[in-house]
Chains A and B, each alone.
Chain A
Amino acid sequence: MSDTHIVSSFSNDLNQIDSLVLEMGGLVEQQLHNATLALQKEDRTLAKDVMKGDSRINELENELNDVAIKVLALRQPVAVDLRTVVMSLKIARHLERIGDYIKNTARRTNTIAKAGAFTGSLDTLARMSELVQKMTQDALNAYSKRDADAAQAVRESDKHVDHMNNSLFRELLTYMMEDPSHIGGAMHLIFIAKNIERMGDHVADIAKETLYLINGEWPEGKREKEDITSKMILDVDELNTES
């Protein structure tokens, strides 16, 4: 497809929409990286910076909404242009939500660090976070290059996030059962893990919307979701057999 419109300012508007989506995505990646670092290092200053940093993501979303509404009103886009505008609005919404989960993660990090609460090993959480950062990057590359295969790959990788969340959930339940003094910190970690798991779902949705943007139809079949924490419960016997 030809990249440029006869009316070049129309192309400029669409490029601006793409730039805003990518800028939001880059910021989200950076924020998640910093939030995870703050947790690992129990760095309250960095955690607070992350909390403050969320407002910029919100501002970018507002800016994108304004541009998209202007394009709809003034350009009456059709076909792939219309799909770009509408899907960019949805993608920006997901990125904004991911930003909120990151902010919540930073807030919990600050709480844990301030109280010197139990955290145990943070390796699994860090790996979950890295995977979601990678997925975010890949999803935005797929959006930027209009690469359907890459978008599909992102959708498929979300199940690994779910797996890690499942095992982490179980691990943290075990810690809590072993020693009630772990409960305060472990509860926050469960919420942080849940935050990251939800981020993965949002990124998978971004990939799905990118596929719609490219193909004009929704991908067939349901994505594999393997988060089973809502079905998990451990009793004391189970704990004893495990140890």
Chain B
Amino acid sequence: MDMETEKKVVANQAIMTARNVDVFYGKKQAIDNVSLDILENEITALIGPSGCGKSTFLRCFNRMNDTIDICKVSGKIEFAGQDIYSPKVDVVALRARIGMVFQKANPFPKSIFENVAYGPRIHDLAESKAELEDIVITSLKRAGLYDEVSDRLEDPGTSLSGGQQQRLCIARAIAVDPEIILMDEPCSALDPIATAIIEDLMESMKRHYTIVIVTHSMAQAARISQKTAFFHLGKVIEYGETEKMFTTPDNELTQNYISGRIG
């Protein structure tokens, strides 16, 4: 695998489409008839008050909801034209193509190198030790972490600072060469400087990847995303250009939320 080969950048093509998606936790409906296109090489932000369903919806994209027994997803979600909920889909392979970064950095209790090498190894992405090293270094570089850890790759991942650990998790997600990276409040446990570094990183990452981020920080959504979807009580109230959303939203509910009038 040559990770430096530029992926073809076709702006404004939908890489992921959700149609009439409903999600139930038992009898409680968390997502109500949501249809949304995620465009390639863009950052899409999902915002909305707590409990609005944005994280639930994000987790539909790589079938993370499968891990919750009472959770039932219906409707259609297609990734690169393929129904990801089809029984034929290999979920492990799907999650390699659609990576995820969580709110709290969760490095494996292994070395920095092994944290990143783990994915490529289990997916058999490297044919030689040299190639594996190449993947690890490239991933760390793309995650903006390499310069800070290049002389201590054998140190434990947990020895890094919070912001570095989060970038290590991003490097780990990148290492299996995904097309989409889902981020669930990736900066909420970080200080403003570490947050700024990750935001800057996301900006550079969108050349290679499509990013969908759930964030509680509307300012963060405004700073980094090209598209924003506003969720409220399980529905998408408004979805469109971030710039428009934060200057002249169409919907009154959106306006009330982003301007701090409703929680």
A: residues with CB less than 8 A from B are 1-2, 4-7, 10, 76-83, 216-217
Contact yes or no, B247 A79, CB < 8 A: yes
The segment from B16-24, B33-41, B173-181, B248-256 found at the interface with A is B248-256
Q: What total of A-B pairs shows CB separation below 8 Å?
A: 43
B25 contacts the other chain (Cβ, under 8 Å)?
A: no
Contact yes or no, A1 B255, CB < 8 A: yes
A residues in contact with B248, CB < 8 Å: 79, 83, 216-217
| Complex Cα gap A138–B222 (Å) | 36
Q: Which residue of chain A has the shortest Cβ distance to B246 in the bound complex?
A: A78
| Complex Cα gap A1–B247 (Å) | 15
B: residues with CB less than 8 A from A are 218-219, 222, 246-249, 252, 254-256, 258-263
> 30 A-B pairs, CB-CB below 8 angstroms?
A1-B252, A1-B255, A1-B256, A2-B262, A4-B261, A5-B259, A5-B260, A6-B260, A6-B261, A7-B260, A10-B260, A77-B259, A78-B218, A78-B222, A78-B246, A78-B247, A78-B259, A79-B247, A79-B248, A79-B249, A79-B254, A79-B255, A81-B259, A82-B246, A82-B247, A83-B247, A83-B248, A216-B247, A216-B248, A217-B248
Q: How far is the CB of B259 from chain A (nearest CB, A)?
A: 5
Q: How far is the CB of A1 from chain B (nearest CB, A)?
A: 6
A residues in contact with B259, CB < 8 Å: 5, 77-81
A residues in contact with B261, CB < 8 Å: 1-2, 4-6
B residues in contact with A217, CB < 8 Å: 248
B residues in contact with A82, CB < 8 Å: 246-247
Please report whether the interface of chain B is mostly helix, strand, loop or mixed according to DSSP: helix
Q: How far is the CB of A12 from chain B (nearest CB, A)?
A: 13
A residues in contact with B254, CB < 8 Å: 79
B residues in contact with A76, CB < 8 Å: 219
- Closest 10 pairs between A and B when the two form their complex, measured CB to CB: A216-B248, A2-B261, A78-B246, A5-B260, A81-B259, A79-B255, A2-B256, A78-B258, A79-B259, A5-B261
A residues in contact with B222, CB < 8 Å: 78
Q: Which residue of chain B has the shortest Cβ distance to A84 in the bound complex?
A: B259
* From A5, A7, A83, residue with most partner B Cβ within 10 Å: A5
B residues in contact with A80, CB < 8 Å: 255, 259
Q: Which residue of chain B has the shortest Cβ distance to A5 in the bound complex?
A: B260
Q: How far is the CB of A86 from chain B (nearest CB, A)?
A: 10
Q: How far is the CB of A194 from chain B (nearest CB, A)?
A: 37
| Complex Cα gap A5–B246 (Å) | 16
Q: Which residue of chain B has the shortest Cβ distance to A217 in the bound complex?
A: B248
Q: Which residue of chain B has the shortest Cβ distance to A2 in the bound complex?
A: B261
Contact yes or no, B262 A79, CB < 8 A: no
A residues in contact with B219, CB < 8 Å: 76
Q: Which residue of chain B has the shortest Cβ distance to A75 in the bound complex?
A: B260
Q: How far is the CB of B106 from chain A (nearest CB, A)?
A: 31
Contact yes or no, B246 A79, CB < 8 A: yes
Q: Which residue of chain A has the shortest Cβ distance to B249 in the bound complex?
A: A79
B residues in contact with A6, CB < 8 Å: 260-263
Q: How far is the CB of A79 from chain B (nearest CB, A)?
A: 5
B residues in contact with A1, CB < 8 Å: 252, 255-256, 261
| Complex Cα gap A77–B218 (Å) | 11
B residues in contact with A4, CB < 8 Å: 261
Q: How far is the CB of A231 from chain B (nearest CB, A)?
A: 39
B residues in contact with A7, CB < 8 Å: 260
Contact of A79 with B260 at beta-carbon distance under 8 Å, contacts A216-B247, A216-B248, A217-B248 already known = no
Q: Which residue of chain A has the shortest Cβ distance to B255 in the bound complex?
A: A79
| Known contacts A79-B255, A81-B259, then 16 further A-B pairs from the complex at CB < 8 Å, ordered by chain A residue | A1-B255, A4-B261, A5-B260, A5-B261, A6-B260, A6-B261, A6-B262, A6-B263, A10-B260, A78-B222, A78-B246, A79-B246, A79-B259, A80-B255, A82-B247, A83-B247
B residues in contact with A5, CB < 8 Å: 259-261
| Complex Cα gap A79–B252 (Å) | 10
Q: How far is the CB of B45 from chain A (nearest CB, A)?
A: 14
